[in-house]
Amino acid sequence: MTTDSAGEPADTLGHNSGSPSHRLDGLIDGLCHVLPLRVYYEDTDAGQVVYYANYLKFMERGRSNFLRCVGVDQREMLSRRGQDDVLFVVRRVDIEYLASAEIEDELEVRTQLREMGGAKLVMRQTVKKGPQTLTKAEVVVVSVKAQGRPARIPDHIRKKLQPYVMADGAAANEKG
């Protein structure tokens, strides 16, 4: 059984609804969000391996689905734009490509929230094929107001994210 950061049974899909579409969101495993995906022809380049920029797309899906699974509704954030809420935008990506995936490979995008500051989130993401890490990245995301200026992460979002921030010891011991 999967448990949340407090040791309680986790709703691994992050939703109260049993809708089949929620299975597309991946699941929370402890402090890590896991999004399974398959490599399609459209993801590959002339060398028949995943085109390097597509790993960034895979990671974007992982971050978006992590937020959805912990109860942060990005559609609601967009609808409130210009009011009292914020959007998350990528500020920096430090990525390392270690190995390639090919068509039909089954991958996992693993997302961990390493740090939450006033206006920023630092996430560690890996793309794995079985036990092999193909790509790893540190992604810094900032919250911004409609004008594009950094803004403090609202308390209602902060409360949803806080249980998933990795402690320093957990981050050092995590295999990712």
Q: Which residues fall within 8 angstroms of residue 59, CB to CB, at 6 or more apart?
A: 109, 111, 125, 127, 135, 137, 139
Given the structure tokens 């954030």, which residue do they identify?
Answer: 77
Q: How far apart are CA 92 and CA 4, in angstroms?
A: 28
User: Which member of 43, 45, 155, 168 is catalytic?
Assistant: 45
Considering Cα of 73, then 76, then 78, then 82, what sign does the dihedral take? Answer: negative
Q: Is 45 a catalytic residue?
A: yes
Q: Is 170 exposed, middle or buried (0-12, 13-18, 19+ CB in 10 A)?
A: middle
Q: How far apart are CA 121 and CA 142, in angstroms?
A: 6
- Catalytic positions, written as ranges: 45
